Amino acid sequence: MHTSAHEDLLQVQRLNAGYGKIQILHDVDMAMRPGEIVALLGPNGAGKSTLMRAISGLLPWMSGDVRFDGKSLHRASPRDAAKLGLVHVIEGHHVFTQLSVQDNLALAGYDIARAERQQRIQDALAFFPEIAQKRHDRAGALSGGQQQMLVVAQGLVKRPRLLILDEPSAGLSPVLVDRVFEVAARLRDEGTSVLLVEQLVEKSLALADRVYAMAHGEIVLQADTNESNLQGRLEEAYFGQHA
């Protein structure tokens, strides 16, 4: 089960956020510890992407707090969060199609010293041999799935301690979905935490250590993924009392 707060890498505490006067998130609590994969599941419109944007600094909060490695991220920009090690790979993010794969990755590490940046690019490409072979090609010449891999690789250049993947399987073939999930597992093995927002419920539960489920902007379930009858509990959480 979940550990105590002082062992957490990420703590979301009674977080309320939304767009303008429209509140989407309602008193959301969540925590992650180092080196684990947590799946965040829920139907469309549940508030998952809003929560990710609020955590990573893309969306201001109405109230509550997000703490990363003990430090509050209140008023922190996405750049501030990334410098601390919290990196958000956003659904639908596009690459610079006229630039090479290599240059796209270099841009992701623009604020890192050149020698260090080159090493990080090498390390990121090692996760994706499909695009490593095309590092000097224009990103626009990659397939849609390969461009999605490049987006994830851009996040890896920042050497995250926590990587937020928002629907990384969107638009990918089953083979490439498996590749992205393999990368997530390797990152966990190397000590990186991964917060995975996905529609592929069975695959996500097979990969993750723990799961949170959202509905109507609230956390309606949290559990270890090895708990019995988890699928049934998820369906109840989605469609039961919160229907």
Domain that holds residue 122: 91-159
Q: What is the pLDDT along the chain (243 residues), one digit of tens a residue?
A: 454 555 899 999 999 999 999 999 999 999 999 999 999 999 889 999 999 999 999 999 999 999 999 999 999 999 999 999 999 998 767 799 999 999 999 999 988 888 999 999 999 999 999 899 999 999 999 988 889 899 999 999 999 999 999 988 887 888 888 888 999 999 999 999 999 998 899 999 999 999 999 999 999 999 999 998 898 888 888 766 444
Domain identity same for 10 and 124: no
DSSP codes joined into one string, the chain: ----GGG-SEEEEEEEEEETTEEEEEEEEEEE-TT-EEEEE--TTSSHHHHHHHHHTSS-EEEEEEEETTEE-TT--HHHHHHHTEEEE-TT----TTSBHHHHHHHHTTTS-HHHHHHHHHHHHHT-HHHHTTTTSBGGGS-HHHHHHHHHHHHHHT--SEEEEESTTTT--HHHHHHHHHHHHHHHHTT-EEEEE-S-HHHHHHH-SEEEEEETTEEEEEEETTSTTHHHHHHHHHHSTT-
Domain's final residue, options 113, 140, 159 = 159
Domain identity same for 148 and 185: no
Number of domains the chain contains: 2
Domain's final residue, options 102, 137, 159 = 159
Domain identity same for 181 and 72: yes
Domain identity same for 62 and 148: no
pLDDT value of residue 163:
96
Domain identity same for 190 and 155: no
Domain's final residue, options 135, 159, 183 = 159
pLDDT value of residue 1:
45
Domain identity same for 123 and 74: no
pLDDT value of residue 240:
66
